[in-house]
Structure 1
């Protein structure tokens, strides 16, 4: 059996370095492990999926946006709830209107791309 040939100080500094590296990498490693577990088992893990609410002026516009979002795989499913009555402040005036509410089910990791897509969408 061969013994480690280092001073106690070098052994301690090596252990400290390994501990610090482990603590620094832990959040990233945890996220990878959670993602892999979810992908392999198909089980839901808190924080990996999100629901997004989006309103549109009418059902026709909602369908176009929903179909495009699903085609681009930015959401797994989009549900459209018709005739939602909304009251909101616009240009310092209280406005009342009917619109449709869209409920998008997606992975949390896709929220940024989904938001960018929605912000840049213009449907005529």
Structure 2
């Protein structure tokens, strides 16, 4: 199986932002599915200080072909100065599910 599929991780500061990002990515066919994982705490260093903030994690399923456009779209609408967006290859999965990802992320002509 090839690794033409990606799982992206993106954190959002609140549910409204997470829903807006998720729905936009799916509506614009940049992602086949976005799962929201609530009630997460992130501890990170920002501008020289350690921060602790509640966040919502998005698990974004897409194809490698759509990652660049997806990243650009996230950058346009995300409230963070430096949003987290990390892509990892999906190296295996049920063929029907992976085919579904391809179908759902085909750009409209």
TM-score after normalising by structure 1: 0.61
Number of corresponding residues: 79
Deviation at residue 89 of structure 1 after TM alignment: 0.4
Larger radius of gyration, structure 1 or 2?
Answer: 1
Whose relative contact order is higher, 1 or 2, with alpha carbons under 8 Å and at least 6 apart? Answer: 2
> In 1, Cα distance between the equivalents of 2:59 and 2:15?
13
Give the counterpart of 2:41 among 61, 85, 97.
85
1:64 partnered with 2:13:
no
Q: Which residue of 2 aligns with 1:16?
A: none
**Counterparts of 1:46 and 1:85 in 2: how far apart (Å)?**
34
Partner of 2:62: 106
Distance, in Å, in 2 between the alignment partners of 1:121 and 1:85 is: 22
* Off by >2 Å, runs of 4+ in structure 1: none
Q: TM-score, normalised by structure 2?
A: 0.69
Structure 1 counterpart of 2:8: 52
Residue by residue over 1:54-107, the C-alpha shift from the partner in whole angstroms, topping out at 9 and shown as x without a partner, is 000011110111001000000000000001110000110000011100000000
Higher strand share: 2
Gaps of 5+ in 1: 1-44
Whether 1:118 and 2:74 are equivalent positions in the alignment is: yes
Matched, 1:96 2:52: yes
The runs of 5 or more residues in structure 2 that have no matched partner are 80-109
